[in-house]
Structure 1
Amino acid sequence: MGQSSSTQNVAVLAGTVTSEPTRRSLPSGVDVVNFDLSTPVDGQRVSVPLAWHDPSASAMSSFDVGEEVVVVGIVRRRFFRSGGRTQSRTEVVVDSLVPARRAKSARSLRAAAAERVRPADE
């Protein structure tokens, strides 16, 4: 059975920030912040790399390493050259991030993500 045309590439993660966010500027002028999130999968902890494009200063100051957060974004595989070789990285590009301690905002973020993938005929 095929997927509904309204289904989108949406990733919803809840986990712990495990690495210090690092900011870098791309040649396009966009700033990207990279960090890792540890989340449970089948009884084990899995590290998920995240990339956040141009987050505001207030958004960046809203969480720290070790904090539980809820993230909504898309899964993307990017290719780049390093050491003369083409390499790839699969990561989640952050659309929204809310600290889990803000329970009402975290629930709203999850609900909004669910709406993005709900079939049109529901």
Structure 2
Amino acid sequence: MSNLDEYGGGPGPSADVLVVTTNEVPGYRVDRVIGEVFGLTVRSRHLGTQIGASFKSMLGGELKGLTKTLVESRNQAMERLIEQARARGGNAVLMMRFDVTEAADLGTEICAYGTAVVISPLAG
């Protein structure tokens, strides 16, 4: 796993479902709006990571263990979002967003959501 994969993510360019944070995709038209889709994951806190983060927070700096956990969680939520769009017949998700909240002090809830659509290239 490269540093890029450890601290970032998202679907690769060859994914069959395009995910964008915009309202539209340049060069494409929306043929059909399917509706809202989301992918959700809830992660509990790992005791070792929490202890390490507590010590690190006293000294300052990035909490790399927590960063990696959040990246993994966001990627899993994104994968589930894509699965939902694909299962409903979509080939794109527009206006994708993440929502992150605490889940009853037991962990972190990560939700990726957006609008599933069917798009096709503009004739040109």
Shared fold, TM over 0.5? no
Larger radius of gyration: 2
* TM-score, normalising length: structure 2: 0.26
TM-score by length of 1: 0.27
Choose between structure 1 and 2: higher strand proportion.
1
The higher relative CO (CA closer than 8 Å, separation ≥ 6) is in: 2
